Structure 1
Amino acid sequence: MAESNPADNEDDIDSLINCGICLSEMEEPKALICLHTFCVKCLKKVKHPPGQITCPLCQEDTLLPKGGIDGLRNNFFINQLKERRAIRGTGEFKMQCTCCGATDRAAVARCVDCNGFLCQQCVDSHKTLGPLKGHAVYTIEELRSGRVDISKVWKEQCCQHHKDQILRFFCKTCGIPICHVCTVVEHSRPEHDYLTLESATEGQMQEIKGLLASCKDVAKRVDTAIKQDDKVKTELNSAMDKASQDLITTKEKVIHSFLKLIEDDYHSNSEKLQKIAAERNTTIDSSKANLSNLQAKLNNAMDMANQVLTSGSKHDVASNYTTLTSTLKQLKQAQVVTTSDDVSFVMFSPNRSEQVLKPLGKIRETKPTLRQVRLQQEMGKDGEGKLTCGIGVSIASNGDIAIADQSTKKVKVYLSDGQYKLSLDTNQGLQQGKTSQPWDVAVSPNQFYVTDLTGMVKIYSLEGQYLKQFPVKSPDGTSSDIDGSQLLGLAIDNDGHLLVGNNTKQYISKCKQDGTHISTIKVDTDPDFIAVTPMGRIVVSPNVSNTGVYVLDQTGKHIHTINTPKDAKSWDPTGVCCSDDGVIYIASWDSRDQGGIYSFTEDGEYLGCVTTDVTKAYGLAYTCDDGDDKLVVAQDSGHPAKVFIFK
């Protein structure tokens, strides 16, 4: 039979002899029912149920024979392809001797009768040992020369079960080649029907050719179908683009028709940005022009001086002395003024209030700096609204201030002027055996959200009515209501999603305001207090002594850590909030009245201490109400909450 060579193209051969798992040339190749072949060691690493294995490439299941992976059919054809390609190659021949089993001896020849490669020592043995003298041995050079018919160098394959027997028969019942011993033992008649391999392959080749022709037709139809799918996808994308553009156009029409105030504010801010850009570019260009002019003068004067010194005569030196020294002295005194980095700073701080008719936001032209505050008012000093253990605090878009009071098991809500308004009873909705200890609160335009050291987030109407509660999911898919978790930190991000901190399992769960799970973010600290910056970064304060505050991106990747400020007498970070211009404010709790509120940029640069007029500070919230920037801090041990206004 002529040499079978279905893949003269080296890339095609690579696709056949390289394992689809380890991507290297296969060792002990085992074939699956789908014809995909892999190294036996790689298949053993694939997780599979008892009795079958799924192909890692096409996902088709193969029933495992007795012996498991080792019992799968050996793909001798792959080994032959490897050997024949090695012989056909022009580079170094790297096959090892298969006769003596020595792994450190390179093969230099092949024995037809032994059906294997020989090292030089085995070649010498074939020349001297009587039983081996008659074997047909060809050197690698002879095989590569083309003078030898390579197809005659490989003998028939031996039986996988009877190593000394050639596969000369084909069992029609089992559909596999067998040896003479197999016809008597495992594949004996009448249970099995077999015929010689030679007569079987004649019909098999014709059948394969017929099926191959049919498959080529199917392949053409598949190619046509793929092109059709591509066409449909292109049309879909085009339709989606048009629909999206129509949506944008409609949105713009609605904005123009019903939100002219916002459009006007946008144009005003846009013009202001353009003006800032023009003025600052003029400043930079002017500075650069002056520097370039100075640079040119310096280069010219220095080049002239160097030429006079290195190439000029004494007469040249004397002739140019007065002019050169005068010019160089002037240039020596030149003022090199660089443009300050502050010129490159400009940012737009979106208005995070959800009242649509308010302005879009503010343009910040200068970098954030330390801003001092003064005490405006206290709340929760006495009466029904008295605070005994204030923890979390949040400010509604209408100015209402909500504070979680752990001792009374209520969230108390105050008007912007500090008057008590109502309470949320966190004892409602408690699961059996649970005790409410309200920790944090967040407010959307429609609802209050509360964590109370149970595994549930509770939802209340703005009128204080309990609505429902929901658990959050951990990274392993379990629910916080069944794994003993305590939910603490709570915030609403820039997209309106809830961020809920689980300090038992150390993760943050992102969910919609109705409780629908979106994702989980694993963190390396206790997320007891959470805030979100205008850039969308997540700030996590652990409420643990002498511990840093983590700043993360939206996926939970650590960006940097805010550590103890240089001028802090005590550093026990608790509440955290962010202003519209990107300043991070952190409250520090201290039992000796040595705490304070400290400010940092989003990048972690320390700006300074805002105030030390706090006692056992916990939750912290920021608001910009009617143009006044304010900080509200909740305090422990019966101290009232304080409202600070920026000077």
Structure 2
Amino acid sequence: MASKMTSGDLDEQFLTCPLCMLHFRDPRVLPCLHTFCRECLQEWATKQQPLECPTCRTQVSLPDQGVDGLKTNFYVNNLLDFVAVKKGAGPGVPCQVCEGGQDGDKSWCVDCAAWMCDLCTTVHRKLPGTKEHEVVPAEVLKAEKDVSKFQRKRHCHKHKNQELVFYCESCNALVCTACTVVDHRPGNDHNPVEVSGIADDKKDKLRQLLSHVDPRLKEMQDALKEFDKETMKLDSSRIESVNQATSYFQHLADLLQKREREILSQIDATYRGIGRTLESQKEAVESGFSRLASARTFCRQAVDYENEMHIVEIGEQAQRTVEGLLLERVNLKPEQDKVQFSERVSVTDFKNDVERLGVVSSTVNVDVSKCRVVTKTPVVGLECTSVLETADEEGQAVAVSREAVSACLTGPKGNTAVPTQLRAKDEGRVWEILYTPEVTGRHRLEVMVKDRDVTGSPFDVVVRSRESAVITIGSEGNEEGQLKKPLDVAIDGDGNVVVLEQVNRRVQVFDAGRGNVLKCFPIDNDGLFGTGTDSNGNLFVTSFGESYGIRKYSQEGELLATFNPEYLRHPLGVAVLQDGRMVAADKQQKSCLLLQPDGSLIREIGKGQLQDPWFIAVDQSRGLMFVTDNRAHKVVVFDLEGNLKFSFGKRGPNRGELNGPTGVTLDPAGNVIVANKADGRVQVFGPDGTYLRTVTTTRGAPHGLALTPDGYVAVACYTGHCVELYRYK
């Protein structure tokens, strides 16, 4: 049995609020087990959001009642009573009721926690509301040495004259006898038991927890000593690295002097980063040590105090807090890595690699909270990539070694690991995580640096089927970011998706990775249909009707030029060649027009060979243009001289057959991707028109197509009012 606290053991720190530095007034306990005055906490809460503990900086979530809903620290209250009793038992202390009777005998009311003279004591014992209070003469109290004897009685807030002697396990609340008859009647909803019946059990649990605290504190103390040792070694280690670098650069003469300064600066910066990292680690251990030691003190007070109601009320909270502190992952081992200077290029070859001479790397100053992982929606059976960007505590990119990085992808059932590979980029500052999932469903990707999870790890990675859209851009509407009957898509120079809307008469540009809208500008024309981009990022838009023609816009939406010659009567799809020439499909003339960059006609292509040309894709490496003929249900191929080369497709629902073909685009290998408006299929054909595979079947009457640089095919779903991105490779 632990010894009781006596008057000789009392320390002023137990009675002083860390905020106001005065004796506690209505002390309240935060979830982290630190105690403050109620008024101090209320004032503190008005100054910051979210609320943090003033001592350990742990974020605090207050109850619905705010500070008033926090538990009272009755142990501190009784310490204050003990001090007040000892002080009040001396001569010259006035009665706390009538403020007189300094020289007469006094008595202490345990319930009111107040000194009273003989006259007030007599009245106190006669009043109906206080006659049941426990009143103790001063001479009895003078001889008392045990703090635990000074315990205020706890009364029910609803039944003022009733002591709290029961604990409702269902409600997690102390209740009185009257409450067990009215509000907490035993049954399915309530289970009141006597306080003494569960106090011992909660004490035992706290004692068991305390047996694990001291060894943990000892580990932290030892770790703090190691941090101090490593910090002391930094200077000598830094000097050694500087000497290595200086010796190397002396052989490179004048051409390397600038690079030498850069390397020395990197070394100094790295060691400063290591020092900050060690200091940060040390502070984390010190913080954990302080919080655990504080919790230990609190729990020991609760256990030794032997106030059953207090232990019942606070025991569960204390247990959860200590358990949480014991489970905290604190790195108790200072990083042992040393910064090394590496010769990347021999002296004889340095002229070709001056910018790459030497590299300073270390994993000590990596801050996992500043590292970032970017995941893209993976598709079953295809190699997928997530990207890890490593950074230091200031958020700056920092190189790490292969041994420092690990990644693990588990399947939907959690017990099947998917093989992963790591590939370094930017000299180890960026790491690609490669994997090929075999099943669809929710996977979990755990990414660690130096055996610590990066922020957000493990990540949820939802693997989709090949036929599912990995990103859907937009929904029906007129607001920015929404779409209404999108007709065509293109890819700008930054890899973003450019969408042309017919009803809203505008262009919107979206991020291909997330689907977020980046910019939006109006197109003040009716009959919008096709769009394309040139090598400078300019945007071309076709329209038919009274405002027919081709219009050229800058990336910011500024109208640069308008081409509406009389020979261009009903333009639909448009493609722009690298040299600025344009090819437009003309529905009225049933042909395609090859135009100069100024809009003048070069030649008409396909006259008499096309029935209803819609969209165009050009393979400039072979000098071929692919035209979808919507009414003929085929793709017709011409060279840029106007000669018919071949065609493929016929009407039908089977593989390789077409049904109202619309959008067409090419992949880097020359394969042809074609969308069917009538049945929603998006199919892939070889350069010679041989059927290869079906990408997907949409439900939104697909029109324009485009292929993103990272291997997604974007489909403008006309009646679906969106653009869907499918994994293509």
TM tier, smaller: 0.3 to 0.5
Please report the TM-score for the alignment, with normalisation by the length of structure 1: 0.37
Please report the TM-score for the alignment, with normalisation by the length of structure 2: 0.33
